[in-house]
Amino acid sequence: MAVVTHAADAVVAAPTPVSLPTPGAPGVYVHVPFCAHRCDYCDFAVTTGADALARRRSVAALPRELATVAAAGPAAVAPRGAAGVLAAPDGAADIAGWPVFGSVFVGGGTPTLLDADDLAGVVRAVATALPLAGDAEITVEANPETVIAESLATLVAAGVTRLSLGAQSFSPSVLATLGRRHDVSSVASAVTAARAAGVAQVSVDLIYGTPGERDADWHASLRQAVGLGVDHVSCYALTVEANTPFAARVRRGEVPDIDEDVQARRMATADAVLAAAGLRRYEVSNWARPGAESAHNRTYWRGGDWLALGASSHGHWQGRRWWNVRPTGRYLAAVEAGGAPVAGAEVLTAEQRRTERLLTGLRTVDGVPRAAVTPVDEAQIGALVRAGLLVDDAARLRLTPAGLPLADGIALRLLPARERC
Partner 1 sequence: MTYPIERIRNFAIIAHVDHGKSTLADRMLQATKLVDARDMREQYLDRMDIERERGITIKAQAVRMPYEASDGSEYLLNLIDTPGHVDFSYEVSRAMNACEGAILLVDAAQGVQAQTVANLYVAIEAGLEVVPVLNKIDLPAARPEEVAEEVAALLGGDPADILAVSAKTGQGVPEVLERIVAHVPAPRGDVDGPPRGLVFDSVFDPYRGVITFVRIIDGILRPDTHIRLMATGFHNGIDELGVISPEPRPVDALGPGEVGYFTAAIKAVELAKVGDTVTDHVRPAPQPLPGYREPTPMVFSGLYPVDSADFPDLRDALEKLRLNDASFTFEPETSVALGFGFRCGFLGLLHMEIISERLDREFDIPLVTTAPNVAYEVHLDERTLKPNEPRVVTVSNPAELPAPNRIDHLLEPVVDAMVLCPSEYVGAVMQLCERRRGELAKMDYLSEQRVELRYTLPLGEIIFDFFDRLKSSTRGYASLDYEPAGMRRSKLVKVDILLNGEPVDAFSAIVHADKSYEYGKAMVSKLRELIPRQLFDVPIQAAIGGKIISRETVKARRKDVLAKCYGGDITRKRKLLERQKEGKKRMKSVGAVEIPQEAFVAALSVGGD
Residue 194 CA, chain-centre distance (Å), reads: 19
> Which residue lies nearer to ligand SF4 by CB, 42 or 157?
42
Rounded Cα–Cα distance for residues 152 and 73 (Å): 32
Chosen residue from 99, 102, 108, 304 binding ligand SAM by CB under 6 A? 108
The reply on whether position 138 binds partner 1 by CB under 8 A is no
* Rg, the chain, Cα only: 21
Nearer to ligand SF4, 137 or 141 (CB): 141
111 close to 22: Cβ distance less than 8 angstroms: no
What residues contact residue 23 under an 8 Å CB cut-off, 6+ apart? 298, 302
Which residues lie closer than 8 Å to 98 by C-beta, 6 or more apart?
Answer: 70, 73, 74, 85, 130, 131
Residue 45: closest CA among 387, 371, 408, 310: 310
Stretch that binds partner 1, among 81-89, 233-241, 246-254, 331-339 (CB under 8 A): 233-241
Binding at 357: pick from partner 1, ligand SF4, ligand SAM, none (beta carbon under 5-8 Å per type): none
Residue 35 or 66: the one with the smaller Cβ distance to ligand SF4 is 35
Question: Is residue 238 part of the contact set for ligand SAM (CB under 6 A)?
Answer: yes
Strand-pair category, 280-283 with 286-288: antiparallel
If contact means CB under 5 to 8 A according to the sort of partner, which of ligand SAM, ligand SF4, partner 1, none does residue 38 touch?
ligand SF4
Judged by CB under 6 A, does residue 168 bind ligand SAM?
yes
Instruction: Check binding of 284 to partner 1 (CB under 8 A).
Output: yes
Name which of 243 and 421 has its Cβ closer to ligand SAM: 243
Q: Is 323 in the site for partner 1 (CB under 8 A)?
A: yes
Query: String of b and e for 178-215 (b: at least 16 CB within 10 Å)?
Result: bbbebebebbeebbebbbebebbbbbbbbbbbbbebee
Which residues lie across from 31 on neighbouring strands? 107
Nearer to ligand SAM, 252 or 386 (CB): 252
Among 74, 102, 109, 144, binds ligand SF4 (CB under 6 A): 109
Pattern 55-74, partner 1, x by CB under 8 A: --------------------
How far is CA 415 from each of CA 79, 216, 318, rounded to the nearest angstrom?
25, 38, 21
293 in Cβ contact with 20 (< 8 Å): yes
- Count Cβ neighbours within 10 Å for each residue of 118-137 and write b for 16 or more, e otherwise: bbbbbbbbbbbbbbbbbbbb
| Contact (CB, 8 A) for 250 and 177 | no
Cβ at position 263, least distance to partner 1 in Å: 5
Rounded to whole angstroms, how far apart are CA atoms 90 and 208?
A: 42
Segment interacting with partner 1 (CB under 8 A) among 15-23, 50-58, 74-82, 348-356: 348-356
Binding to ligand SF4 in span 162-221, by CB under 6 A = 166
Q: What Cα–Cα distance (Å) separates residue 2 from each residue in 128, 137, 159, 161, 195?
A: 17, 12, 16, 16, 25
> What SS3 state is found at 146?
helix
Question: Considering beta carbons, is residue 170 or 317 the nearer one to ligand SF4?
Answer: 170
Residue list 236-255, contact with partner 1 (CB under 8 A): 236-239
Is 257 one of the binding residues for partner 1 (CB under 8 A)?
no
Kindly tell me which of 110 and 364 has the beta carbon lying closer to ligand SAM.
110
The nearer residue to ligand SF4, 42 or 222, going by C-beta atoms, is 42
Tell me how far CA of residue 312 lies from CA of 44, 110, 248, in angstroms: 9, 14, 24
359's contact among partner 1, ligand SF4, ligand SAM, none, with CB below 5 to 8 A by partner kind, is partner 1
Rounded CA-CA distance 242/257 in Å is 13
Q: Are strands 390-392 and 286-288 parallel, antiparallel or unpaired?
A: unpaired
Q: Which is nearer to ligand SAM, 108 or 304 (CB)?
A: 108
Site string for ligand SF4, 42-61 (x = CB under 6 A): x-x-x---------------
Q: Classify residue 394 by its DSSP letter.
A: S
Binding test (CB under 6 A) with ligand SAM, winner from 65, 205, 213, 217: 205
Residues with Cβ within 8 Å of residue 81, at least 6 apart in sequence? none
**Which residues form the interface with ligand SF4 (CB under 6 A)?**
35, 38-39, 42, 44, 46, 108-110, 143, 166
**Which residues form the interface with partner 1 (CB under 8 A)?**
29, 44, 107, 205, 234-239, 260-261, 263-265, 267, 284-285, 300, 306, 308, 313-316, 321, 323, 346, 352, 355-356, 359-360, 363, 383-384, 387, 389, 404-413, 415, 418-421
**Which residues form the interface with ligand SAM (CB under 6 A)?**
41-42, 44, 107-110, 141, 143, 166, 168, 205, 207, 236, 238-239, 241
